[in-house]
Amino acid sequence: MMLQLIDDIDIRQLNLQWIRSQFGLVSQEPILFDLTIAENIAYGLDNVSMEDIINAARRANIHQFIDQLPQGYETKVGLKGSFLSGGEKQRIAIARVLVRRPKVLLLDEPTSAMDSYNEHIVQEALDQAQIEDSSRTSLIVAHRLSTIRSCDLICALHRGHIVESGTHAELAQRRGAYCKMLAQNNLQ
């Protein structure tokens, strides 16, 4: 049996609810509810102040957009966020995660469905979130390699196995699997 550890502690000795509270997920297709923007950011949390909601929105690069809406943070987003663009939904989902201050941030294809403008804005938000809490670990799953260029460690996978790892510069020089992906993405 393989032992699973978190900070050298057997995972079976830890409270599962506590473990889950340490993680934040931003998926490829964010889930928003037919509530206000503020309620979507604070969703699932008790006693979140408006100040915390606004700070999370600022860190997610969505505050300025929200502030320009006639009803601001009280604007209803529609069923599944139907009144918002993909980039706006994603940034609200990022704000929802950031207001929780997770120790581990899981990002599953966070910019895959975006145009380059929105990708850039979301990427800035994610980079800023990492700078603000350097103790946070971010795990990013991405096929769009521009999303991971600035990562400290990149692992290239093939059929579920790590075939090489390193920084962007190191992997680009090796001319291996990552370099082939770069060529396919036109990102040399």
pLDDT at 67 (0 to 100): 97
* Contacts for 17 with CB less than 8 Å, ≥ 6 apart: none
pTM of this structure: 0.83
Q: What is the DSSP string of 58-88?
A: HHTT-HHHHHHSTTGGG-B--GGGTTS-HHH
The answer on pLDDT for 2 being more than 80 is: no
107 forms bridges with which residues in the sheet? 26, 140
Q: How far apart are CA 59 and CA 96, in angstroms?
A: 11
Q: Judge contact between 98 and 58, C-beta under 8 A.
A: no
Query: Which of 9, 20, 16, 14 minimizes the C-alpha distance to 103?
Result: 20
Q: Per-residue confidence at 116, pLDDT binned at 50, 70, 90?
A: confident
Nearest-5° Cα angle at 23, 22 to 26: 155
Q: How far apart are CA 91 and CA 94, in angstroms?
A: 5
Q: Per-residue confidence at 1, pLDDT binned at 50, 70, 90?
A: low
pLDDT at 147 (0 to 100): 83
Q: Per-residue confidence at 121, pLDDT binned at 50, 70, 90?
A: confident
Q: What is the chain's alpha carbon radius of gyration, rounded to the nearest angstrom?
A: 18
Q: Per-residue confidence at 187, pLDDT binned at 50, 70, 90?
A: low
pLDDT, tens only, 17-26: 988 989 999 9
pLDDT, tens only, 141-176: 988 888 888 889 999 998 989 999 999 999 999 989
Query: What are the structural domains of the chain?
Result: 23-144 (3.40.50.300), 152-188 (no CATH)
Q: Judge contact between 92 and 84, C-beta under 8 A.
A: yes
* Contacts for 160 with CB less than 8 Å, ≥ 6 apart: none
Say which amino acid occupies 159: R
Looking at per-residue pLDDT, the higher value among 165 and 186 belongs to 165
Q: How far apart are CA 186 and CA 188, in angstroms?
A: 6
Say which amino acid occupies 76: K
